[in-house]
A and B are shown apart, each in its own frame.
Chain A
Amino acid sequence: MQADRFYQQFDLQRTAIAHDIHIHDQYAEPPLPWFIQGLIGLGGWIIGLTIVLLAIAILVLLHGSDMDALWPVNFAIGTAFLVFGWSIRCLRMPASVADGLAFGGLIFAALAIGVFAAGKAYPALFFTGLVLIISARLDATLVLQGAIAALLAGLIAATAMQELVIDRQISAVAWIFALESLAGVILFMFPARIDLRPLASIAIFSAVLSPVLAAQFFTWTEPEASMIAGRLLNLSALAVLFLTAWLGADGTNRRFDVLMFAALCLPTALILPQAGSSALIVFVLAWCRGSLPLAIIGGALQTVFVMHYFHDQSISLIYRAPTMIEKAWIMGGIGIALIALGAMLAFREARAEP
C-alpha cells in the first residue's frame, strides 16, 4: 500500500510519518542476511554462555557439588551475570555476547531458586517473568527477549504439569494453553510500543506444541466442559484476527475474502481438538499480518497436528473421543473445504488479472 493511501485510510499525521520515512530511507544501513546475523549471533552467545559455565566450574571447585545448600550464593552469582549482561550493552561489546551472559546468568539464578532451593518450578517461573518484564523495559534485543520468553513458556508448562496434571486438573492446563494463544494474538495485533513479537510468537507456539507434547504423557479422555471452554478461547482468538482483518480491508472484494476465511476457519476450529485450532491460529495470523515465515510455521504445525491426530484421544464436541472413521470424515471434510477455498481464491485472483 502506498503511503498516501495509508494516511487517508487510517487518518494519520501525514507530516510526521513522511518525515520518519525520509529519515529512515536516508540513514538506514542495509542489514546483513538473516542467516549471517544468526551465525554471528550464535558465535556471541557461545562466548557469553561459556563465560557463565566457567564461573559455575569455579564455583563447583571452590564449594563442591552440593548446590542445594548454596542456593543463595548461586542465585546471587546468576543474578550478577544477568545484570552484568544487561549493563555491558552500553559498551562496545557485541549484543549477542551480552545476551549470552545475561541468559546464562538467568538460567543459573532460576535453577538456584527453583530446583536447588524449593525443588519446584514456580519460584523460577515468577523470577523469569519478572526478568522478562525488566528486559522488555530495558529494550533488550529481540533474541534475548525470545530466549527468556521460551524459558518462561517451558516453566509454565513444567508448573502446569507439576501442580495441575497430578491432581487431574487437566481442564486448567487446557485453559492455560488457550489463554497463551489469545495473549499471543492480542500482543501481535494490538502491540505495545515496545516490540514484543518474540514473546507473542513463543506464547502462540507453546500453545500449539504443549498439548501435543503433553499428550505423550497422558490422554485427555474426560468429558469436561471446561476443555470445550479452552477451545472457545481459541475461537475468540480467531475472531479477534478476523475482526482486525475486516477493519483493515479497504474494499468489498477484500472483505469477501475475510468472510470466506472466517466461514471456513471458525467451524474447523470448533471441530478440531485444541492443538489443531491453535495451529490454525498461527496460519490465520500469518494471513492477516502478511508474514511468510509464520505461514510456513503454521503449515508445519498443522502437519504435525494431523500426524498426531491419528492417535489422539481428545474429546470432541460430542463429549467423547471420535472413532477412527469419524476422524476420517472430519479430515476429509476439512480437506475438501480448504481445497474449495483455495480454488476460489485462485479463481478470483485469475479473474482480477489485468
Chain B
Amino acid sequence: MTHADIGERDLSFADLLRFRSKGLIGPVRFGPAAFAIRDHRRWAQMSGAALLALGAGHLVAGLVFYGASQWEDLSEWQIFGILQGGIVVLVAAALAGGLTKPVGQAALIGATLMTGLLLHIVQRIYPSSAGNLEFLLAWALLVLPWVAASRSAAHWVVWTIIALFLADAAFSGYLEPSGLVPAAIGPFVLAAVPGLVLCGGEAMRRRGATWLRPKWPRYVLLAPALGLLFTALLEHLFPDLPVFDGAAAGVESVIIFTIPVLAAIWFYRFRVPDYAGFAIAIAFAALAAGAIGARMIDGWYSLDPLQPSGLFGWLLIFVWASACAGGMAILLRHQGYFFETAEHHAG
C-alpha cells in the first residue's frame, strides 16, 4: 500500500488510539478527532432510532406514572379504553408501516406486551378462579398470530419468554402438585421451551427463511436451554447445596444434559459452522466436566481444609478446574482458523 492509498483509507477508533499511544496526536485533539472520524451517517441513523425508542420508553413510563397517580379516580371504562385503545393504535401502526418492516415489527412487539398488561389488569379488576396458568396461556395464544405475522426474530424471542413463564406456571401450578410428573423434571420442562424454539428456528433457517438470518436469537435461546439443563445436572451432583430444594433428578440428568450439548457441539461445528454457538456449547461442557470432577473428588475426600486429606481434595479440585478451563481455552483457540474460513465461505 502506497502513501497515496493510505490517504484514502478510512480511519477507525482503534487507529486513533494507536496514534495517541505513540504520541502522534495530543490529548486535547483526541476528543474532537474521535467525533470527527466516526461514521456520521450511520450514527445519525442509529441515534435517531435509539432516541425514538428511548423517547417511546419515557413516554410509556410517563403514562404508567400518570396511571399510578390517578388509578383510584379512573373508571373501568377509562382503564380498558386506554389499554385497548393502545393495542388498536399499535396494530394499526403496524399495518400502516408494514407488518414485516422494522416499524411494524416494533409496533407488534409493543402490542404483544400491552396485551399482557391488559390481561393482567383484567385479572386484578375481575378476580376469578382463573389463575396464572390461564392468564399466561391466553397471552401466549392470543399474540401468536402477531408473532407469526411479524416475521421478527426478536418477537419470537419475546414469545419464547412468555412461553417459558407459561411452562413454569403449568409445571409448578398444575403438573407437579397433581402428581402427574415428579418435581425433579422441572428444569427439563423449562429447558425444552427455548430448546424447541431453537430447533424450529434452525430448521426454518435451513429451509431458507431469510428473516431468521440474524444469529443473536440462536445464542439467546441456546444459552438458557443449556443453562437450565446444567442447573438440573448441578442439582443431581450437589443436592445438599442450599440453593436447591432437594428434588433432584437421578443419573438421567447427566444423560439429558450430555445429549443436547454434544448435539450442539456437532451441529455448530460440522453442520452449520458458528464459532459463538460452538463456544457456548463447549463452555457448558467444560462447566459440566468441572462439576462432575468436583463431585467425584468430594466423594473421595472430606474437603475439610483443616485436615490434610481435605486440603489434598481441594488441591485436586483446583487442578481439575484449571484443567477444564485450560482445555476449553486451548480447544477454542485451535478452532479459530477453521471457523474463520468456514464462516467466510458461508458469507
Given contacts A247-B31, A257-B44, A291-B13, contact A35 B276 (CB under 8 A): yes
Most buried by B among A44, A54, A188: A54
Give bound CA distance, A9 to B275, whole Å: 41
Assess the B24–A13 pair: CB atoms within 8 A: yes
B251 sits at the interface (CB 8 A): no
Give bound CA distance, A21 to B9, whole Å: 9
Assess the B35–A249 pair: CB atoms within 8 A: yes
Q: Which of A58, A288, A331 lies in contact with B62, CB distance below 8 A? A: A331
Contacts A/B (CB < 8 Å), 22 sampled: A1-B36, A1-B37, A2-B10, A3-B7, A4-B8, A10-B25, A35-B276, A39-B332, A40-B332, A47-B322, A53-B318, A60-B306, A61-B306, A193-B20, A244-B31, A245-B32, A249-B35, A257-B44, A288-B35, A329-B62, A332-B66, A342-B53
* Chain A residue contacts of B58, Cβ below 8 A: 306, 331-332, 334-335, 338
B128 sits at the interface (CB 8 A): no
A303 sits at the interface (CB 8 A): yes
Given contacts A36-B275, A36-B336, A57-B311, contact A50 B59 (CB under 8 A): no
CB proximity of A84 to chain B, nearest CB, Å: 16
Please report the total number of B residues contacting A with Cβ < 8 Å. Answer: 84
Supplied contacts A325-B65, A338-B51, 7 more A-B pairs, CB within 8 Å: A6-B37, A17-B24, A20-B22, A57-B305, A61-B305, A189-B34, A192-B27
Give bound CA distance, A191 to B305, whole Å: 47
* Chain A residue contacts of B65, Cβ below 8 A: 310, 324-325, 327-328, 331
Assess the A336–B69 pair: CB atoms within 8 A: no
| Prevailing SS type, chain A contact patch | helix
| 8 residue pairs, one from A and one from B, having the closest CB atoms | A290-B38, A338-B55, A342-B51, A332-B62, A248-B35, A335-B59, A248-B32, A335-B58
Give bound CA distance, A205 to B8, whole Å: 37
CB proximity of B323 to chain A, nearest CB, Å: 9
A residues apposed to B, CB below 8 Å:
1-4, 6-7, 9-10, 12-13, 15-18, 20-22, 24-26, 30, 32-33, 35-36, 39-40, 42-44, 46-47, 50-51, 53-54, 57-58, 60-61, 64-65, 94, 188-195, 244-245, 247-250, 254, 257, 283, 287-292, 295, 299, 302-303, 306, 309-310, 323-325, 327-343, 345-346, 348-349, 352
Assess the B33–A248 pair: CB atoms within 8 A: yes
Give bound CA distance, A58 to B70, whole Å: 63
Assess the A299–B54 pair: CB atoms within 8 A: yes
* Chain A residue contacts of B40, Cβ below 8 A: 254
Assess the A21–B6 pair: CB atoms within 8 A: yes
**What total count of A-B pairs have CB within 8 Å?**
273
* Chain B residue contacts of A25, Cβ below 8 A: 1, 9
Q: Which of B18, B31, B332, B333 lies in contact with A288, CB distance below 8 A? A: B31
| Prevailing SS type, chain B contact patch | helix
Q: Which of B6, B24, B30, B55 lies in contact with A335, CB distance below 8 A? A: B55
Most buried by B among A7, A288, A328, A340: A328
CB-based nearest B residue for A254: B40
Assess the B59–A290 pair: CB atoms within 8 A: no
* Chain B residue contacts of A289, Cβ below 8 A: 13, 34-35, 38
Give bound CA distance, A309 to B62, whole Å: 11
Given contacts A299-B50, A306-B58, A324-B65, contact A349 B44 (CB under 8 A): yes
